[in-house]
Amino acid sequence: MTWNRDDLAAGLAFLGIGLFFAANTLLFLPVGTTAEMGPGFFPLALCILLGLLGAAILLKARRPTTEPEERPAINLRAVCFITAAPVAFGLALRDLGLVPALVISTGAALAASRVIGLRRGVTIVAGMTVFCVAVFYYGLRVPVELFNLDVFN
C-alpha cells in the first residue's frame, strides 16, 4: 500500500487550514454556547467541519494503488465563463440595475456549457431573472434598482 499524493496533499491542506483558523477563532473570538452563540461559534463549527473533511481525505489517501488515473483536461471555457459570471454581475448591478445584471451574469454562466441550446438558455435566463427579482426585490426588499436608465444619459 502506498499513499495517493493528490489526496494526501488535499487532506493535509484542509486539515492544516481548519486547524489554523480554529486556533485563531479560539484565541481571538468568544465562542459562547449553543444557547448563546458568540461571534466565533459559526467560524469554529466550519473549521471543525473542514478539519474532519481533511481527516477523511487523509484516510482515503492510504489505499492500494492501481495504475495511475488519467486526469481529464481542464475545460478552460467553463473556468473562464463561470469566473466571469459573478464579476459581471457585480460590475453591472450598480450601473445597469438588477435585471440586466442578472441577464448578463446568468448568460455568462450558461455560455460555459456546450450542451445547453439557445432556447433552453433563454428559458433559464428568464426563469432565474424572474425568480431573483421576486425573491430579492419584492420579497426581501433589497434596495436596488430593477433598471438604471441613468446610464444612457
The tens digit of pLDDT for each residue in 74-121 reads: 889 999 999 999 999 999 998 999 999 999 999 999 999 989 989 999
Q: What is the pLDDT of residues 6-36, one digit of tens each?
A: 888 999 999 999 999 999 999 999 998 888 8
Q: What is the reported pLDDT for 143?
A: 93
Please give the grid coordinates belonging to residue 87. Answer: 464579476
Say if residue 66's pLDDT is above 70: no
pTM: 0.60
The C-alpha cell that represents 103 in the structure block: 441577464
Query: What is the sign, positive or negative, of the torsion defined by CA atoms of 20, 26, 31, 32?
Result: positive
Q: Above pLDDT 90, what percent of the chain?
A: 73
Q: What is the pLDDT of residue 62?
A: 83
pLDDT number for residue 151: 65
Contact yes or no for 54/11 (Cβ under 8 A): yes
